[in-house]
Structure 1
Amino acid sequence: MIQQTLELNSKAGLLAIPVTQLVQVASRFNSDIFLTHNGRKVNVKSILGVLSLGIPSQAKITLEASGQDEEEALRQITKTLASFNN
């Protein structure tokens, strides 16, 4: 299992369109991938789960991946989140 904490720099936070893109990327991997914000942990492969966190801009989040492709999964999810920065 690997973890990474980062800060979202998106002005709008994580809204429906970016979350959909994030879930699509996460779904390509076999690893279990979780996102934690304010003590709540959800599966990144769940659109409703990620949206339920209501992640605002400038939020600190922690990503966690566990499985055979965990390193590549975390790398791609981090890259996708970085693409949302305005």
Structure 2
Amino acid sequence: MVSKSFTIKNKMGLHMRPANVFVTAMTKYESEIFIQFGGKKINGKSIMNIMAGCIKCGSDIVVECEGPDEEAMMAEVSELIESGFGEE
């Protein structure tokens, strides 16, 4: 398992569009992905769970990836989050 901390940068947080970008990117991987936020463990391949997490701009999250392609998955997660999901 690999994990990494991030701060959400895009102004609207993980609203519908970035949540969709995130889930679409992650579903191509075999590994499981979870987002730790606000005492919750959120399934990173479920758009509804991500939306329900209410992750706003400035929120600190921890992303955990576990499985055969976890390193590649985490690399793409890092790129997506650090780029602000292309919204900036």
TM-score, structure 2 normalization = 0.92
Counterparts of 1:58-69 in structure 2, within 5 Å, are 58-69=58-69
**How much does 1:80 deviate?**
1.1
Shift of 1:36: 0.9
For 2:27, the equivalent position in structure 1 comes to 27
State the alpha-carbon separation in 2 of the partners of residues 48 and 31 from structure 1.
19
Aligned length: 86
Q: Which runs of 5+ in 1 are unaligned?
A: none
Poorly superposed stretches of 4+, deviation over 6 Å: none
Query: One-letter code of the match for 2:37?
Result: H
| Amino acid in the other structure paired with 1:7 | T
CA distance in 1, matches of 2:64, 2:49: 15
Q: Give RMSD over aligned pairs.
A: 1.0
Residue segments in structure 2 that go unaligned for 5+ positions in a row: none
Deviation string, structure 1 residues 39-79 (Cα, Å, up to 9, x no partner): 11111100001011000100000000000000110110121
| % identical aligned pairs | 27
Correspondence list, 1:66-81, <5 A: 66-81=66-81
